[in-house]
Amino acid sequence: MKVMAQLGMVMNLDKCIGCHTCSVTCKQTWTNRAGIEYVWFNNVETRPGQGYPRRYEDQERWHGGWTLTKGGRLKLRSGGRFKRLLSIFANPVLPRLEDYYEPWTYDYANLIDAPLSDDFPVARPKSLITGENMKITWSGNWDDNLGGAPEMGHLDPIVEKVRREAEDKIKFEFEKTFMFYLPRICEHCLNPSCMAACPSGAIYKRVEDGIVLVDQDRCRGWRQCMTGCPYKKVYFNHKTGKAEKCTFCYPRVEVGLPTVCAETCVGRLRYIGLFLYDADRVTAAASTPDPQDLYEAQLDLLLDPNDPQVIAAARAEGIAEDWLEAARRSPVYALAKKYRVALPLRPEFRTMPMVWYVPPLSPVVDLLRDQGHDAEAAGNLFGAIDALRIPVEYLAELFTAGDTATVSDVLHKLAAMRSYMRDINLGRDTDESIPAAVGMTGHEMYEMYRLLAIAKYDERYVIPKAHEEQGHDLEEMGCSVDFDETDFGSAAFGEASGRPVPVAVETFQALRQRQTTDLIRAPEDMRGRVNLLNWDGKGVPSGIFPDDDGHKKASSSS
């Protein structure tokens, strides 16, 4: 047993309102640069829908992820090493820009520069690739909120499959439809096929926290990772010729802050914490013959952080005590393995993804409510989950390789929680038969409710800081051991003099206070250094917003 730590995320899909705040803040932080205008490390897709890039899940076409050879061994779906090398001159299964979308901007200058005339000036869309006028026909979330579903709904690979199996069951008629949002980031897989496909070996998994990164200096632009990743979460920067991907906001998590997408999530539905897993068994687990068993195999890799044997083995691997403590408090471990309500996305790709999803009960609840039933009574909900085959089948394709039993177990738990808590909230006697029906105790149910519904900041994000004894290894705190935490940022000649202060050190203390209070505090305590990376929505910091007279103030006004 080789114990390793892995940062993981869980998203509670019931709470996602599809506002795209996460995508926008992520873009502002990481991909607002030339060459990756079309790139969304975080995207939110409406399901049913084609996703981004279009139909990325259709591995018949894109050849992402792993398959098993006849002998049961794991093999990249796009072919073995030799075949891959032969295809580096022209990758036959690379998504085209049209499969993402052609990025554009608007000719805003025209609004101001146009001469006086009877017609209103318009800002025409200009391609960010060619600079020409263009017609906008697709984007990262063109089919948002089922837009165009009657014509294009069948292009969702899962709809296609479920329909094939059950003759036209998913209807896009208004009254029969269901929908939910699926926010996606890189899965920071345990068995990443992007990495396996990289000829240069530029993609690596960090030993300390399992974050998967592309070494920008080693990447040579062979474009194999984009094919390798079944989730299409590695992108090509067409200006620099290098692959880029979600970084799990490593500069933030190294100092204990959640990722930008999680921090800014309006629905507060993202959880970040540690998993401990057995690295020696990853390949074996990913080689599980029946795709429907992959979910169990993946759960099996996750080690119980309370098990003394695991703790001893983790210590032997040099995992620090505070990390072990964080692993014990990990919300993601609780949701994935303790309560078993979080499921991996498309486990059949065999990459062992580490972003998990609590499937949405809302399609079922909405249908019940629309039909005039009490959508909070356990009996109704249980019955509906079993009767409404379509949402369940769809979710099963998404999360369990088609195993509907697992998905409906999870939905039963969520339904039970809903009706059990209604009794508590209304001050009625609790019905202990409800949790019992899903194999839980009333206490467990309440704990799960706290985690899922109350979702306190401290409980959602349990992120151990990277270690000071490894200070020299830290990217963000490279030479910061001598920074005094209370007196950050001032040097002999005033604030802007001396060595630059690492952003995270400077703001960590201030941020921690701000994020754990409910006060709207003046932004002054951020020393005028608020930017989108660290702004938490409190106050109106100068430097982000224009002044009333429309001019941007220098951000160091004090």
Buried b (16+ CB within 10 A) or exposed e, 43-57: bbbbbbbbbbbbbbb
Residues 130-159 that bind other proteins (CB under 8 A): 130-132
Identify which of residues 442 and 471 has a Cβ nearer to other proteins in the complex.
471
Q: Does 398 bind ligand SF4 (CB under 6 A)?
A: no
For residue 126, the number of C-alpha atoms closer than 13 Å in the C-beta half-sphere is: 12
Q: 208, 248 in Cβ contact below 8 A?
A: no
Near ligand SF4 by CB under 6 A: residue from 4, 44, 343, 368: 44
Residue 1 binding other proteins, by CB under 8 A:
no
Judged by CB under 6 A, does residue 351 bind ligand SF4? yes
Task: Name residues contacting other proteins, limited to 32-71 (CB under 8 A).
Answer: 32-35, 37
Tokens at residue 27, please? 């873009």
Q: What is the CA radius of gyration of the chain?
A: 25
DSSP 8-state symbol, 57: T
12-20, 85-93, 256-264, 306-314 -> range binding other proteins (CB under 8 A)? 85-93
35 binds, among ligand SF4, other proteins, none (CB under 5 to 8 A by kind): other proteins
Restricted to residues 258-297, the positions that interact with ligand SF4 (CB under 6 A) are 265-267, 269
360 binds ligand SF4 (CB under 6 A): no
Q: Please select the residue that binds ligand SF4; options are 40, 62, 222, 231, rule is CB under 6 A.
A: 231
Q: Which does 44 bind (CB under 5 to 8 A by kind): ligand SF4, other proteins, none?
A: ligand SF4
Which structure tokens are listed for 558? Answer: 């004090």
Burial class (CB in 10 A: 0-12, 13-18, 19+), 487: exposed
Strand 74-76, strand 343-344: pairing: unpaired
Both tokens assigned to 43: 């995207």
21, 224, 237, 480: which one contacts ligand SF4 (CB under 6 A)?
Answer: 21
Q: How crowded is the C-beta side of 103, counted as CA atoms within 13 Å? A: 14
Q: Check binding of 234 to ligand SF4 (CB under 6 A).
A: yes
Q: Which of the listed partners (other proteins, ligand SF4, none) does 267 bind, with a CB threshold of 5 to 8 Å by partner kind? A: ligand SF4
The three-class DSSP label of residue 383 is helix
Binding mask of the shown chain, residues 90 to 119, with x at each position contacting other proteins by CB under 8 A: xxx-x-xx-------x---xx--xxx-x-x
Amino acid symbol at 416: A
Tokens 């030339």, residue located: 34
Q: Is 51 in the site for ligand SF4 (CB under 6 A)?
A: no
156 binds ligand SF4 (CB under 6 A): no
The least distance separating other proteins from the CB of residue 457, rounded to whole angstroms, comes to 24
Instruction: Give the nearest distance from C-beta 208 to other proteins in angstroms.
Output: 6
Query: Which residues have CB under 8 Å from 200's CB, separation 6+?
Result: 218, 219, 220, 222
Q: How far apart are CA 34 and CA 32, in angstroms?
A: 7
**What phi and psi values does residue 12 have, to the nearest 5 degrees?**
-95, 100
Q: Is 256 in the site for other proteins (CB under 8 A)?
A: no
**Please, which of residues 188-207 interact with other proteins by CB under 8 A?**
191-192, 195-196, 198-201, 203-207
Q: Give 461's DSSP letter.
A: B
- Please list every residue from 169 through 188 that binds other proteins, using CB under 8 A: none
What does the CA dihedral 536, 330, 343, 183 come to, rounded to 10 degrees?
10
Q: Say which amino acid occupies 179.
A: M
Which residues neighbour 533 within 8 Å (Cβ) at sequence distance 6 or greater?
29, 252, 260, 503
Measure the CA–CA gap between 371 and 70, rounded to whole angstroms.
49
In the complex with ligand SF4, the residue whose CB is nearer, 288 or 542, is 288
Asked if 281 touches other proteins (CB under 8 A), the answer is no
| Residue window 458-487: x/- pattern of binding to other proteins, with contact defined by CB under 8 A | --------x---x-xxxxxxxx--------
The reply to whether 211 sits near ligand SF4 by the rule CB under 6 A is no
CA 322 to chain centre: 25
- Of residues 158-197, those binding ligand SF4 (CB under 6 A): 181, 183, 186-189, 192-194
Pick the stretch among 107-115, 227-235, 278-286, 370-378 that binds ligand SF4 (CB under 6 A): 227-235
Q: Name residues contacting other proteins, limited to 318-377 (CB under 8 A).
A: none
Closest distance of CB 61 from ligand SF4, Å: 17
Which residue in 126, 422, 521, 538 binds other proteins (CB under 8 A)? 126
Q: Are 502 and 481 in contact (CB under 8 A)?
A: no
State the CB neighbour count (10 A cutoff) for residue 210. 22
Interface stretch with other proteins, choices 127-135, 368-376, 395-403, 452-460 (CB under 8 A):
127-135
Q: Please report, as ranges, the residues that interact with ligand SF4 according to CB under 6 A.
A: 16-22, 44, 181, 183, 186-189, 192-194, 212, 229, 231, 233-234, 245, 265-267, 269, 351
